[in-house]
Amino acid sequence: MKMDANPLSNIRFVLDHTSHPGNIGSAARALKTMGLTRLYLVAPRRFPHAEADALACDARDVLLNTQVRTTLDEALAGCVFAAGLTARRRDLAHPCMDVREAARHLIALSAKQEVALVFGNEAYGLSNEELARCQLMVSIPTDAAYTSLNVASAVQIMAYELRMAVLAGSGVAPDTPELARLEDIEFFYRRLEETLIRIDFLDPNNPKRLMPRVRRMFARAQLEKEELSILMGMLKQINLHAKPKVD
């Protein structure tokens, strides 16, 4: 468990499939002005790039330390919590907070543990699959007539609210439980799905919305590390006792 006096240093901003390098540079600058430094990119179309450098201005150090990953799961490795920024309404709504409330929540969590904020592509945002990796949806209250915030602007507002939450001293949350790591939760989901198929609860040829609903339920729960151990133990036992599949 990481012990860091500054909760902002445990927060990573993940830009997922960003198209325009200028937005990456602007995001780096936005982060640094608010005292944040940790930028992750998932499969950026062009990076490094001169335009990113130009728009980062004196935040080029943030770009130099930027971590590039192939998948969102890799970018979230080590985190206990991920929140996805989204403007669109979803079918199966995740728990949702506005950006101010979310900032307070994240600062409380990040006092001792790593958390992530995920920003989708400029044109199509986050896919439902990507959003399923997140435990929380964060909405910025845009005007109904024009909801299309620039991605670097969304980063700026989120970073600003995180800084305001720290300045307000809301980061003091000594009793925050140790949460399960996201990659361990993903491993659990995979084992659970296999198990549900094995016990004929889930038809892989007609899965319907079962796993998304399961994810939503656990996302609301915000699994603690010990709880996940218990769930994994349960799965193991279920599998030990399941009849081998005959087909």
Which spans of this chain sit near a second copy (rule: CB under 8 A)?
26, 29-30, 32-35, 57-59, 100, 140-143, 145-150, 152-153, 156-157, 160, 163-164, 167
Nearest distance in Å: CB 111, a second copy: 18
Sign of CA dihedral 97, 37, 33, 112: positive
Among 94, 102, 99, which Cα is nearest to 220's? 94
Residue 170 burial (C-beta neighbours within 10 Å; 0-12, 13-18, 19+): middle
Non-local (6+) Cβ contacts of 175 within 8 A are: none
Nearest distance in Å: CB 127, a second copy: 22
Nearest distance in Å: CB 215, a second copy: 30
The region that residue 221 occupies, defined by phi over 0 for left and psi between -120 and 50 for alpha, beta otherwise, is alpha
Nearest distance in Å: CB 149, a second copy: 5
Between 8 and 75, CB nearer to a second copy: 8
Between 32 and 215, CB nearer to a second copy: 32
Among 28, 42, 35, which Cα is nearest to 82's? 42
Nearest distance in Å: CB 153, a second copy: 5
Between 7 and 212, CB nearer to a second copy: 7
Between 157 and 210, CB nearer to a second copy: 157
Between 127 and 153, CB nearer to a second copy: 153
Look at strands 11-16 and 96-98 and give their pairing: unpaired
Cβ neighbours around 90 below 10 Å, total:
14
